[in-house]
A = this chain, B = another copy of it.
Amino acid sequence: MSRKTILLKSRPNGWVSEDNFELSLSEIPEPAESEMLLEVLYMSVDPYMRGRMNDPKIKSYIPPFQIGAPCEAGIVGRVIKSNGGKYPEGTLLSGLGPWSTHAITDGTGFNPLPDDSGVPLSYYLGILGMPGMTAYVGLKAIANLQEGESVYVSAASGAVGQVVGQIAKNMGCHVSGSAGSDDKVSYLTDDIGFDAAFNYKTADNLTHAIREANPSGVDVYFENVGGAMLEAVINNINMKGRIALCGMIADYNATAETISTSPRNLTVLIGRNVKMEGFIVSNYPKESLEWLQVGAQWIKEGKLKYRESVAEGVENAPQAFIDMLKGKNFGKQVVRIKAD
């Protein structure tokens, strides 16, 4: 058996394609002293990774992937060989690793996972991982969400959005969202308790659709999309509203020619005393840890549902990543590298 790894072959200009990746076969590496070899069980694909594929000259908060080197992702893996490493063989770990069947690490940035929690391991890449923490941080630390407020979230059936909606619902809020298919919209209202939802692809007018879903206006907007959607939300934002800027997937594959020119209505933020604040989850460790407690408890109590799209095999990671950016996934997109 050999190791399979996905390398970044070239940098995408505009939309990313499978041609930007390369599958590499190699020998399974041996851990050096103080290192461990992990067998990777699951890896995550997330929108922010698109930014890591850009030219390193574009300033970013996270270092770019290197051409000819493995792409990185959140992974869950098991220690299968330890050379005096931090954790014994058999330990389940989650952290940042290569798009690969195997990973070598000294344990830096990895956390051990319980082997018997009853929670599917892939959840540690989603609802109990970075996306779930992101939802919690955005609502608590950024938007300071209060009981009874009206919350709207875009990309609402995605990895982050579905958690945003359920947290807000559990906090006693009016919750609304948009998604890109009628199936996803039904999931939001019928399965996970959204008060209102609509298909943004078939809505005649985004401003009106958001108003219909939020008859008393929007107090808190959890932003995953950007562009025309943000402009339409601003038209509906209430006095003292808060906009938590989590992502702007509409522009992740844009070039100078295709980038959104919206929003044109930022002056509205002045008169309505609105706060718009960007955040990256890694800057909020306190709230992130809090979520691990709150989220696990809510899962046990049946107060959180969660949907995933699972692709099979590391060789399909590039396609899964591209499909996710295009909104073809339904729920959190993960890749199963090896059955657990």
The residues of B that contact A247 with a CB separation of less than 8 Å are 270
B264 x A261 contact (CB < 8 A): yes
A273 x B278 contact (CB < 8 A): yes
Interface residues of A (CB under 8 A from B): 51, 60-62, 226, 230, 239, 245-248, 251, 259-264, 266-280, 283
A60 x B278 contact (CB < 8 A): no
* Further contacts, 18 of them, CB under 8 A, given A247-B270, A269-B278, A273-B283: A60-B271, A61-B271, A245-B269, A248-B267, A248-B270, A261-B261, A261-B262, A263-B266, A268-B278, A269-B276, A269-B277, A272-B278, A273-B278, A274-B277, A274-B278, A275-B277, A276-B276, A276-B277
Q: Sort A-B residue pairs by CB-CB distance and give the 5 closest, nearest first.
A: A269-B278, A261-B261, A61-B271, A270-B278, A275-B277
A246 to B264, CA, bound (A): 16
A247 to B270, CA, bound (A): 7
A263 to B61, CA, bound (A): 20
The residues of B that contact A248 with a CB separation of less than 8 Å are 266-267, 270
Residue of B nearest to A263 (CB): B266
Residue of B nearest to A262 (CB): B261
